Amino acid sequence: MKAVRFPHELKRGSTTVRIYCLKRPATAHQAAREVYTLAWYAGDIRQTKQFSDLESAIEEGNLKLDQLSAGKINAAAEINIEDAAILDQARKIAGDIPILAALQEWQKARSLAGGELVLAAETWSTRHANLLEQSTVTEAVTRFLAAKTKDGYATEDTQGSIFASLSNSVLGAQSIGSVSCAAIQAYLDAIPNRTTRNTHRKRIVTLWRWARSVDLLPRDMQTEAERTTRAKEDASKIGIINATTMESWLALVRNQSPADLPALVLSAFCGMRRVEVHGQTWEAINLEEGHLHVNAAKEGTPANRLIPLCSSAIQWLMICNDRKGKVCDGLAVDRIRKLGKERKLELPEKGTRHSWISYRLAETKDIAATALEAGNSPQIIRKHYLKLRTAAQASLWFGILPHKAKTTGKSSSNKNAAKKSADIGSESAPLSITK
């Protein structure tokens, strides 16, 4: 190292640290020597640290410059180069798991094992390692969907997008037996919508429990997925779509995405849930007798029902092509909502189902019959949908016919109908409810 003048300054932009050289005389126990003092300011407080060699002082000085330049004043005051090296090594050991999450998991495991964590892990490994079949999360998903399909469940059609997202995530390539609760929770926490997050958690818990039942996970232990936490969901909103907006939406989908038109018709005129629409087949729709049987429903539940087809629903379905097999794929509802949002249509969350129930109840004035057709309980219908719409508004909704809706995506309602709808009252104001 070339000769250095003291105080030696290290600079990074407008930030400066200084190194001073102090010559200490010999004593009875130690020879004369030079010591180096690093000095810097963390905020308004002057900090110092001594070193026996210049190289170490310069290395520490550069670290302080990095921290101060990045605005990490507290770190500059407290973290030295040894601490930084330890932190870096800890991050490497933790891998994809956040350090705090890894430490919390270690602390809990150590507490459960009475301090003998390694011994407990070795005992568990001896007991289970040779009994469990090895499988990645993606492989487990493939086997799970195949098994459910073989058992007669439409799981792949109704939940395929959730499992595809899981398989394509960082968890997909990992062994399902090695995925921790913290890793699953981190995956779930990345989903911004809390209701969607809980739906994904529910499916993941089902997958992990199935994996336990087929010896991909230990049978005598709670799964890591079950240990994750549910998110607190916001209060739902009863958002009603008006007839003019629905007519515009139907015309838009008919013109821009005709293959998805059946999805909107079943949502708007039958009040079917998203999963029910995606699981519906044409063979279960009887246009001649005017009803359909919901395919995506469990036996013995309210969702297993017949839904009457109004005249509008029949006429809209009659103009759909290729009436065989599934009425749509598993992303049709998402596409039609995106299309409507792009055209600035006011479409509340679950607005088609909320609207249909409200208009149907206003039309029939029969809570029990409406609940049966909606696959809900009369208590829910009475609590959330009673007196939300009028018979006149219902007449406008169920009077939307294909020959009246232009294929330009704009409403063709005559001025009198539009005025009548406006006179009846706003039909898009959300009403808060709790689940």
Q: Average pLDDT in the 411-419 region?
A: 40
Computed over its alpha carbons, how large is the radius of gyration of the chain?
33
Q: Average pLDDT in the 368-392 region?
A: 92
Give tens-digit pLDDT for 323-369: 999 999 988 999 999 999 999 999 988 899 999 999 999 999 999 99
DSSP string, 126-156: HHHTTTSPP-BHHHHHHHHHHHHHHTT--HH
- pLDDT at position 355, please? 95
- pLDDT at position 20, please? 93
- pLDDT at position 131, please? 60
Give tens-digit pLDDT for 49-81: 889 899 889 988 888 888 887 766 555 556 666
- Higher confidence at residue 54 or residue 85? 54
Among residues 289, 155, 129, 150, the alpha carbon closest in space to that of 215 is found at 129
Q: 155: pLDDT confidence band, cut at 50, 70 and 90?
A: confident
- pLDDT at position 375, please? 94
Over 70: is that where the pLDDT of 239 sits?
yes
Q: How far apart are CA 216 and CA 219, in angstroms?
A: 9
Contact 233, 388 (CB under 8 A): no
Q: 241: pLDDT confidence band, cut at 50, 70 and 90?
A: very high
Over 70: is that where the pLDDT of 43 sits?
yes
- pLDDT at position 2, please? 66
- Burial of 195-217, coded b for 16+ CB within 10 Å and e otherwise, reads eebbebbebbbebbebbbeeebb
Q: Average pLDDT in the 104-109 region?
A: 84
The two beta strands, 237-238 and 33-42, are unpaired
Q: 3: pLDDT confidence band, cut at 50, 70 and 90?
A: confident
- pLDDT at position 84, please? 65
The two beta strands, 291-293 and 306-308, are antiparallel
Over 70: is that where the pLDDT of 412 sits?
no
Among residues 397, 399, 319, the alpha carbon closest in space to that of 357 is found at 397
